[in-house]
Structures are given as C-alpha cells and as structure tokens.
Amino acid sequence: MPKLYDDQLFDIPIYTYKSELHRKNRSFDIKNYKAFFNVVELSFGKFSELKDNVRLSDNKIALFLDWNKEFLDETANFFPVYVQPALLPMYRGYGAITEQFLRGVSVSGITFYIPSDITDAGDILYQREIRIDFEDYPEDFIRKVCGEVLSTIKTIDLSNCKRFSQRQELSFSLGRIRKRDAIIDFRSDALSVYNHIRGFSRPFFGAFCFYEGERIVIWRGKPERWQGVYGEPGEVLKVTDDGIEVACGNGTVILTEMEKTVDIKKSFVFNKYMNVFVN
C-alpha cells in the first residue's frame, strides 16, 4: 500500500479479507490508506460465494492482498495471476521468504504464475531477479518485491505472456513456519545465527531465546566475529550501547534489537537450564 501510494496508483481496486480474517496477526494494516483507494473487504470464502462483491471491468487490473490461495474456483470470470516472492520452482509454499533468509540466499526474485491444483506449481508467465543484500531483512526484501510487482503490472501485459511449465525436478515445497521453529540455536556458527534472526524478523513473529526463564524476541543482530570459540554457545560476552555480544558455536553475534528491555548480565548463557537443548 505505501508503494501504491508513492506511485499514486489510486485507480487500482484493492480486494482483501476483513481485518479479523487475515491469516497473520502482523498483516499490514490498511486502514490509514482507505481514504485514498477503492478497498473492498470480503468475508472468507471462495469466489463463487463472493463474486457479487467483485466487480472488474474489461482491461482492469485489481490486486488481491493477503489472500487465501483457495479463493479462486471455476466460476472466476477474470484472468488470475499469482505472485510468489521467489524464483519458482524453488521455494514453493508459505514460508518462502523466511526459508530464503535462513539459507542465506543472495539472488532471489518474483514469479508471476497461473494458479493450479498444486500449490505454486502453475505455469510461469514472468520472472525477475531481486537481490537480497547482506544487511537486508524481510521488510527490505518485501519492499523490493512490491516495487517489482507494481513495475511489472504497469509495463507488461501478463495475459499475453508465453507460459512455461515449471521443472518439477527442481521444485521443493515448504511447510508453514511455526513459532517454535524460531528458537535461536546458538550452537550454530555466527552467520547461521544471524540469518536465523533475519529470517524470522518483521513482519514475522521474531526469533527468540530464553533469559532467566523469560522468552525474549530478537528482532535484529549482526555477526561480530566470524570464527573462533569465545565461550559457551549462548554466553553473554559483552554488553555495550551497540548491543549484546553472544558466543556462538563458531564466532559471535551482536544482538542489536530486542522486543523487551531486560537487564542482560555478562556471563549469562541464553537458553541454559530451559530443557531446550540436551547436552
């Protein structure tokens, strides 16, 4: 929505679920933009049940935001195109953004494709590479994706693009990311810990660890020392104005933004005595 606003694309109708039906409690809040756009909020259901509320004229582009991929059915009377924030056929599924950060992907992209019975497996219409810089977080990547989506729909008629079947031998699908997957394993090397923090950062629920029995969400961090053993994994080595340096299995990271303000003490070991890890 901010990108649409910046580009003054006020004539593109927006369809989305009612706010209480959005799939993520961190889904973008569009109420501040309703005065500028034609926003239609629909109840949960398939297109056949809601089609009377969807009015699209010929040659009109509309955006469906935060949408359930089961929405479309055989009664849809327009040309639907889905967008995946990855270069399909790799990274199918809901967890595509997080998984790419966890794996340290540097060259990602967007894929415009036709819906099919298998999730994210439809014919590809158009793809474009997008770089994930080393200091990027999911929020940064999503901004780049939104920019490329709007640039594409303004300049390319996707309905006339040649279709290409996906190479199934290169495909893999991702399960839904759950909160328990976000726990930080400081026994990993510093780069892996950094990528883990990035992958679960906003707009997702955040990577976390335990401090004195309390669950602490870590939003931002950075590698400090790439190699070497500097303490027990999870041990607090230094507390400064720049952040909290923590030992990893190999190297160290600095935790620069946490959800809660707590008095972190030097020499404390995150996740210790929580029965999280078994020695």
Range 144-155 average pLDDT: 93
- β-pairing verdict for 107-113 and 63-65: unpaired
Residue 165 lies in a domain: yes
Let me know if residue 275 belongs to a domain. Answer: no
Q: Are 219 and 206 in contact (CB under 8 A)?
A: yes
Task: Give the confidence band of 14 by pLDDT, cuts at 50, 70, 90.
Answer: confident
Domain assignment of residue 47, given as a range:
1-78
β-bridge pairing 124-131 and 207-211: unpaired
Question: Which are the contacts of 147, defined by CB distance < 8 A and separation ≥ 6?
Answer: 3
Q: Which residues pair with 220 in a beta bridge?
A: 257
93 with 25, same domain: the answer is: no
Average pLDDT over residues 129-144: 97
Record the pTM. Answer: 0.87
pLDDT at 227: 97
Residues 173 and 235 both lie in one domain: no
Arithmetic mean of pLDDT, 158-180: 93
Among 27, 53, 78, where does a domain finish?
A: 78
Residue written as token pair 């969807």: 54
The pLDDT of residue 138 is above 90: yes
Q: Among 177, 205, 237, give the residue marking a domain's end.
A: 177
In a domain, 279, yes or no: no
Q: Are 54 and 15 in contact (CB under 8 A)?
A: yes
> What is the number of structural domains in the chain?
3
Q: End of a domain among 38, 57, 78?
A: 78
Give yes or no: residues 87 and 170 share one domain.
yes
The pLDDT of 180-203, averaged and rounded, is: 97
Angstrom CA distances, 244 to 50, 160, 223, 236, stand at 51, 53, 11, 7
